[in-house]
């Protein structure tokens, strides 16, 4: 059986998106900056997409900037606010310990440039405390950046309360909403954010396209110099087929949201209940305040990488929370932030579901994870030490 359970990494393009993509690529190939009729037709489509995306988010079309995706949007928002703040003597940036690398590494770059970066801790449930955010605010803060929903453990952050705090103090607020948009309701005024990043491929759109919402009046500088596209803030000929596909995907996922969310919650509950029958494991992140379809676990006494490879042999595409790429053996900063010790954090598994997943796939996945965890534990010297009492269980 083939089970794609890595929707937080990327999704398959939806039918609506594919249709919009091919239709636009075939028929609307003019350059929106060209003055002739083919260009003007493309410009009309571009304008309509901007309006439709703005409408879904409760924004004004002039507040939507098309980008190459979530990473670019995060970078542009954070750098714009930081450099604008610096000119006014505000050199402090407040964020959390569980942000995506697109935020985390941008903050690190600014830290090297002399900014003070405060990364607030999260509770064991993977949620930042509003009073911690409040305590970190002051006249020297250029930007607060708190993600809407976490990509590893799915926890939903109290962004509305944080937005209200920032607004009351006139502090700019950015939220990385890449995991949330298209999956849970997202309205820029309810959140009270000045910047919001989204990415098409996380909600059934194509890869390499996204958007940045920027509230009118909030500072915005460009990362890419060139033509005057996107009101001079993002040079480069617009990828109109991708933008049209992103727009169609967003509308489709929003109109299907209630049904999708109910189905995903049902599959998620079933998967969590099934995996919890495995001894010495723990669900990562808050049980209820999490994205529908996100299931993240740590299993004691195993290595997440081996688990992934063996699941892949059984046709299951999953992810581990750990960032063991490019030779780094550091476990995920998110799992460490919720208090998992190194050894436990290494035994992580993230399964993120989509509406194509079925009950039968969930049953199959539960059985496969049980079998593989058992197999790996039987080979693990750490597990033998635990069983024979030379080490004590943490989970």
Ligand X SMILES: *Cc1c(COP(=O)(O)O)cnc(C)c1O
Interface with ligand X (CB under 6 A), residue from 100, 215, 333, 377: 100
Is there binding between residue 199 and ligand X (CB under 6 A)? yes
Is there binding between residue 230 and ligand X (CB under 6 A)? no
Binding residues among 375-394 for ligand X as defined by CB under 6 A? none
Beta-bridged to residue 6, according to DSSP, are 352
Strands (E), 107-209: 116-120, 141-145, 172-176, 195-199
Interface with ligand X (CB under 6 A), residue from 13, 14, 53, 69: 69
Name the minimum Å distance from CB 310 to ligand X. 25
Is there binding between residue 355 and ligand X (CB under 6 A)? no
DSSP string, 280-344: SEEE-S-SSSB-TTEEEEEETTS-HHHHHHHHHHTTEE-B-SS---TT--PPPHHHHHTT--HHH
Is there binding between residue 331 and ligand X (CB under 6 A)? no
Is the separation of the CB atoms in 208 and 21 below 8 Å?
no
Binding residues among 168-187 for ligand X as defined by CB under 6 A? 176, 178-179
Interface with ligand X (CB under 6 A), residue from 32, 70, 154, 331: 70
Nearer to ligand X, 133 or 200 (CB): 200
Closest residue to ligand X, based on beta-carbon distance:
70
d(CA 194, CA 357): 35
Q: Which stretch binds ligand X (CB under 6 A): 55-63, 70-78, 114-122, 381-389?
A: 70-78
Could you count the other beta carbons within 10 Å of the beta carbon of residue 279? 13
d(CA 79, CA 105): 11
Nearer to ligand X, 179 or 319 (CB): 179
Is residue 317 annotated as part of the catalytic site, yes or no?
no
Cβ neighbors of 313 (< 8 A, separation 6 or more) are none
Is there binding between residue 147 and ligand X (CB under 6 A)? yes
355: helix, coil or strand? coil
Binding residues among 266-325 for ligand X as defined by CB under 6 A? none
Among 101, 76, 55, 92, smallest CA distance to 194 is for: 76
Interface with ligand X (CB under 6 A), residue from 151, 261, 294, 348: 151
Contacts with ligand X by CB under 6 A lie at 69-71, 74, 100, 102, 147, 151, 176, 178-179, 199, 201-202, 210
Catalytic residue set: 324
């Amino acid at each position: 059986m083939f089970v794609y359970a890595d929707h937080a990494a990327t999704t398959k393009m939806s039918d609506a998106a594919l249709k919009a993509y091919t239709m636009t690529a075939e028929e609307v190939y003019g350059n929106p900056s060209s003055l002739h009729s083919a260009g003007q037709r493309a410009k009309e489509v571009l304008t309509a997409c901007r309006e439709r995306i703005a409408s879904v988010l409760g924004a004004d079309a002039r507040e939507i900037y098309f980008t190459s995706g979530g990473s670019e949007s995060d970078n542009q928002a954070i750098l714009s606010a930081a450099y604008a703040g610096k000119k006014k003597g505000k050199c402090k940036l407040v964020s959390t310990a569980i942000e995506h690398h697109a935020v985390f590494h941008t903050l690190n770059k600014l830290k090297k440039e002399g900014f003070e970066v405060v990364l607030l801790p999260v509770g064991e449930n993977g949620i930042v405390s509003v009073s911690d955010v409040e305590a970190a605010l002051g006249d020297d803060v250029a930007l607060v950046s708190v993600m809407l929903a976490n990509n590893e453990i799915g926890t939903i952050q109290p962004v509305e309360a944080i937005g209200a705090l920032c607004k009351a103090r006139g502090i700019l607020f950015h939220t990385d909403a890449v995991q949330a948009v298209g999956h849970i309701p997202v309205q820029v005024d309810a959140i009270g954010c000045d910047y919001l990043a989204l990415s098409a491929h996380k909600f059934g759109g194509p890869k390499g396209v996204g958007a940045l919402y920027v509230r009118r009046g909030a500072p915005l500088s460009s990362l890419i110099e060139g033509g005057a596209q996107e009101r001079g803030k993002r040079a480069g000929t617009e990828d109109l087929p991708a933008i049209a596909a992103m727009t169609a995907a967003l509308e489709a996922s929003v109109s299907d949201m209630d049904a999708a969310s109910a189905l995903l919650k049902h599959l998620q509950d079933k998967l969590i209940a099934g995996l919890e029958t495995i001894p010495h494991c723990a669900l990562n992140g808050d049980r209820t305040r999490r994205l529908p379809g996100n299931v993240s676990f740590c299993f004691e006494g195993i290595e997440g990488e081996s688990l992934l490879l063996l699941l892949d042999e059984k046709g299951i595409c999953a992810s581990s929370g750990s960032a063991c790429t490019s030779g780094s053996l550091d476990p995920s900063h998110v799992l460490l932030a919720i208090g998992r010790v190194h050894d436990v954090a290494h035994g992580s598994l993230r399964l993120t579901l989509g509406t194509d997943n079925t009950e039968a796939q969930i049953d199959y996945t539960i059985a496969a994870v049980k079998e593989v965890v058992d197999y790996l534990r039987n080979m693990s010297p750490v597990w033998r030490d635990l069983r024979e009492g030379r080490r004590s269980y943490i989970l």
